[in-house]
Amino acid sequence: MNRKIRVFLTDDHTLLRNALTMLLEGQEDMEVVGEAASGCECLEGVKHKKPDVVLMDISLPDCDGVEATGKILTALPETRVIAVTMHVEDEYLLRFLNAGGRGYVHKSAADRELIKAIHTVVKGDVFLSATGVQVMANQYCSTESVSEVTPDILSDRELQVLQFLARGFTSREIGEKLFLSPRTIETYRERITVKLKLEHRSDLVDYAIRYKLLG
């Protein structure tokens, strides 16, 4: 039998943590290995437990979920972090993705979408709930940062790297898939951003969505 997916919960509401624990423990392939009510408590717990997935609220005492996500991924880059939050504003989603977050689930839909989100990020993909997709669509419609340069300016390899980047893969993970070094992937990333006149990961996601590059 395959090892269970180890999940760590972070939310300052005890009732929600209890509800999520019941939901996850009811899955044959998942187990809750720890929980925290604040950002600092989460950081300590995650370093000790080394979970596969962290469920992260954005609004937390002492250290918000975006900041905590960045610190977790600095210490444990293999960990996948999913935001489970009531926030639907563009700024929260984009900050979270830029910090390295892999999934975004609205609390009102957690009972329907969370299990799928966990399976998705464990496979290496990015999961956005319907609310998150709408936020990205709004960002795409309103932003002026999305490049007008078409994808045909990119080489086949650059296009391949862009697709992986937009899905949330790290340079090391992309390198493993393409049999290239992380440094080479970083070089491709620099070329892509220069050619497309983009700077941030959220811009790459916007671009990939706009030009239907994610299949």
Does residue 33 surpass a pLDDT of 90? yes
Residue with tokens 């030009």: 211
Residue 202 has pLDDT above 80, yes or no: no
> Does the pLDDT value for residue 127 go beyond 60?
yes
85-116 per-position pLDDT tens digit = 887 666 677 778 878 899 999 888 888 899 99
CA atoms of 119 and 127, how far apart (whole Å): 9
Identify the pLDDT of residue 139.
56
Closest CA to 166 of 152, 148, 181, 151: 151
Give the highest mean pLDDT range of 10-19, 55-64, 124-133, 190-199: 10-19
Average pLDDT value for residue range 10-32: 94
Q: Could you state, in order of their start, the residue ranges of all structural domains in the chain?
A: 5-141, 144-210
Residue 23: Cβ-neighbour burial (10 angstroms; 0-12, 13-18, 19+)? middle
Give the residue carrying structure tokens 């799928």.
116
Q: What is the pTM of this model?
A: 0.65
Cβ partners under 8 Å of residue 202, min gap 6:
94, 97, 98, 139
144-210 CATH, one of 3.40.50.2020, 1.10.10.10, 3.40.630.30, 3.20.20.70: 1.10.10.10
Q: Between 163 and 52, where is the model more confident?
A: 52
Mean pLDDT for 141-153 is 68
Fold held by 5-141: Rossmann fold (3.40.50)
Average pLDDT, the chain: 85
